[in-house]
Amino acid sequence: MMLATLLALAAALWYVVSHLERGDQGVAWYPAAAPCELHRSSCQALLGNSRRLSLAADAPRGIRALDLLPLTVTLEGVEATAVHVDFVGRDMDMGLHRFPLDAQDNGRYEGMAQVPICTESTMPWLANVVVETGDGRLGSRFDFTVERRVP
């Protein structure tokens, strides 16, 4: 009985720490401007006050688990100090998969990401884009689906 209690406490502690580590607290979330297919075109969000965020993934054959995925976030009207993208399982907790992006020119941030493997043949995900600014944190969430690679 004591072992079961300790295991339950360890699981609860892991759950709390993993959600605190994600850092979603204090982010002003804005909805996607329209539904999008991330592997086909960029996704947009209006961040209020003439500010815009765009997320693009270079995946012409679709987004696949374990393939390297080049990401580009473009900002308009926003002075960012940092930008990162978190991949979060939409229907299943898959842990934290955070990808910081490097500043380029003209409000562009680029980096590489990778969707982890899953036991499901088709897995729905969210790409949470978080923009750190001097005035706070802004973000938007974009849906995408990953097909498991067939050997």
pLDDT digits (tens, 9 = 90+) for 93-112: 888 899 999 999 999 999 99
Provide the pLDDT for residue 35.
87
Structural domain includes residue 41? yes
**Position 23 confidence tier, pLDDT thresholds 50, 70, 90:** low
Across the range 3-20, mean pLDDT stands at 54
Query: Which range of residues forms the domain containing residue 89?
Result: 26-147
pLDDT at residue 151 greater than cutoff 70? no
- Residue 68 sits in a domain whose CATH number is 2.60.40.1930
How buried is residue 145: exposed, middle or buried, by Cβ count under 10 Å (0-12/13-18/19+)? Answer: middle
Structural domain includes residue 21? no
Structural domain includes residue 13? no
Number of domains in the chain: 1
pLDDT at residue 19 greater than cutoff 80? no
pLDDT at residue 15 greater than cutoff 90? no
